[in-house]
Amino acid sequence: MNEIISKINELSHKYRDYTAQNLSKLIQIKSTSMYEKEVQLELKRQMEEAGFDEVRIDGLGNVIGRIGNGKLILAIDGHMDTVDVGNLANWTFDPFSGEIKDGYVYGRGTVDQKGGPAAAVTSGRILKELGFDRDLTVLVVGSVMEEDCDGLCWKYLVEEEKVLPDFAISTEPTNLNIYRGHRGRMEIVVKFKGLSCHGSAPERGVNAIYLAAKAALEIEKLNERLPSDEFLGKGSVTISEIKSGSPSLCAVADYAQFHLDRRLTWGETKESAVAEIQDIIKDMDATVEVLYYEEIAYTGLKYGMEKYYPTWKIPAEHIAVTTGVDAFKQLFDKDPIVDKWTFSTNGVTINGYYHIPIIGFGPGNEVFAHAPDEKVPIDHLVTASAFYAAYAYLIPLSD
């Protein structure tokens, strides 16, 4: 195994420029959620060029590259859609230049998170060059629509494509640390019903905005008392949007609603989070609704899921985690940091719904996610491409 690990390290450095150039090509293609077609075709081309045994695009638009045909399945996932660039004045370079300079690749999506799939393509090339022949199938997945709806792509892969891996790696940015979980989240709308009347005599009506305001103050207090987990941290809730309506600007508002961003720590559930809000509004004419996402993918397929994304964490002693630690040690002769994400990932379905053991390991620092002047160190791409290949060699094929 020492010889294989040494060869993986050698090849990851040999293909340093190849990986950076592949990522640059992906960055030059704008690919917000539901508009990923062109970048998916480029990713497919790159997998084919790297010698993958099979490359296909599924009905939702995910690219699936296969190496090997073994009994066990390892999936390496990275989403190919990005957020938009925001205010261009905040950028000091073209977000879609894909420029390679001073040891970095620059542009929107370098960190969140086309860098991971680009490194995984190189891992596939390394595995093929080494004649990988373990009883393991490696799937590299370039997934879609994650920025709009975390995990929707994997709901489709599991339920419609019947892809059910034994292990998975998320290539979301971890700053080259190994991550084993993150808080869950859900999106909730609370709607308040009032009674309109002329604004000159507000006492005749019931102002829905006042109801919403009273509830908002209680939600602020709720946030302070939410439980905490030693590893994942504290649950949280915040109001991210508020709307109201009335017959005119000279009338009492008969309708109001606000949108809640709810982050769930270990032990919290959809039901417990909804019950907390229902308790706050129990004496009001108001309703609580967990939102549902349904949109049309670039393939033309309409698909959706409830916007409840479960909390998940993998025990530090789980083989999925210890294999990652072992791969890192053997490759780089030092101990990795094992931690968690602040944000949410496709892990909410991969493990949260389907209980597939998953870890995170990805190039780039998450502080650059969704931020201007996004860039990823090429050294991170090299490290990640070596890690994914080594993991495929080291994951046990039986208990």
Q: pLDDT digit string (tens) for 162-173?
A: 999 999 999 999
pLDDT band at 398 (very low <50, low <70, confident <90, very high): confident
**Considering 36, 42, 77, 81, which one is annotated as catalytic?**
81
CA distance 74 to 379: 24
pLDDT digits (tens, 9 = 90+) for 89-148: 999 999 999 999 999 999 999 999 999 999 999 999 999 999 999 999 999 999 999 999
Please return the burial class of 210, using the count of CB atoms within 10 Å of its CB with bins 0-12, 13-18 and 19+.
Answer: middle
Contact 314, 170 (CB under 8 A): no
Read off the pLDDT of each residue in 40-68 and give the average, rounded to a whole number: 98
Of the chain, the percentage scoring pLDDT greater than 90 comes to 99
3-class DSSP assignment, residue 17: helix
Read off the pLDDT of each residue in 219-230 and give the average, rounded to a whole number: 98
CA distance 319 to 399: 9
Instruction: Write b or e for each residue in 261-291: b if 16 or more Cβ atoms lie within 10 A of its Cβ, otherwise e.
Output: ebbbbbebebeebbebbeebbeebebebebe
Is pLDDT of 36 > 60? Answer: yes
**Across the chain, what does the average pLDDT equal?**
98
Report the candidate in 233, 164, 246 with the shortest Cα–Cα distance to residue 205: 246
Determine which helix (DSSP H) or strand (DSSP E) holds 75, and give its type and residue range.
Answer: strand 72-79
Measured CA distances, 303 to 61, 143, 160, 204, 293 (Å): 11, 14, 11, 45, 8
**Considering 42, 58, 112, 146, which one is annotated as catalytic?**
146
Strand pairing category for 181-182 and 312-313: antiparallel
Virtual CA dihedral for 15, 19, 24, 30, nearest 10 degrees? 160
Tokens representing 81 are: 């859609």
- Confidence at residue 5, expressed as pLDDT on a 0 to 100 scale: 98
254 is catalytic: no
pLDDT digits (tens, 9 = 90+) for 270-281: 999 999 999 999
Partners of 239 in the beta sheet? 260
- Confidence at residue 154, expressed as pLDDT on a 0 to 100 scale: 98
Tokens representing 33 are: 């959620």
pLDDT digits (tens, 9 = 90+) for 197-214: 999 999 999 999 999 999
In eight-state DSSP terms, residue 202 is: G
| H-type alpha helices, 226-337 | 270-280, 319-332
Helices 378-394 and 16-27, axial angle in degrees (round to 10): 110
146 is catalytic: yes
Read off the pLDDT of each residue in 294-309 and give the average, rounded to a whole number: 98
pLDDT band at 150 (very low <50, low <70, confident <90, very high): very high
Is pLDDT of 399 > 80? Answer: no
* pTM, 2 dp: 0.96
Domains of the chain: 2-182+311-394 (3.40.630.10), 184-296 (3.30.70.360)
Q: CB pairs under 8 A, 24+ apart, for 236-239?
A: 236/262, 236/263, 237/261, 237/262, 237/263, 237/273
pLDDT digits (tens, 9 = 90+) for 323-380: 999 999 999 999 999 999 999 999 999 999 999 999 999 999 999 999 999 999 999 9
E strands present in 246-336: 255-264, 286-290, 292-296, 302-306, 308-309, 312-313
3-class DSSP assignment, residue 72: strand
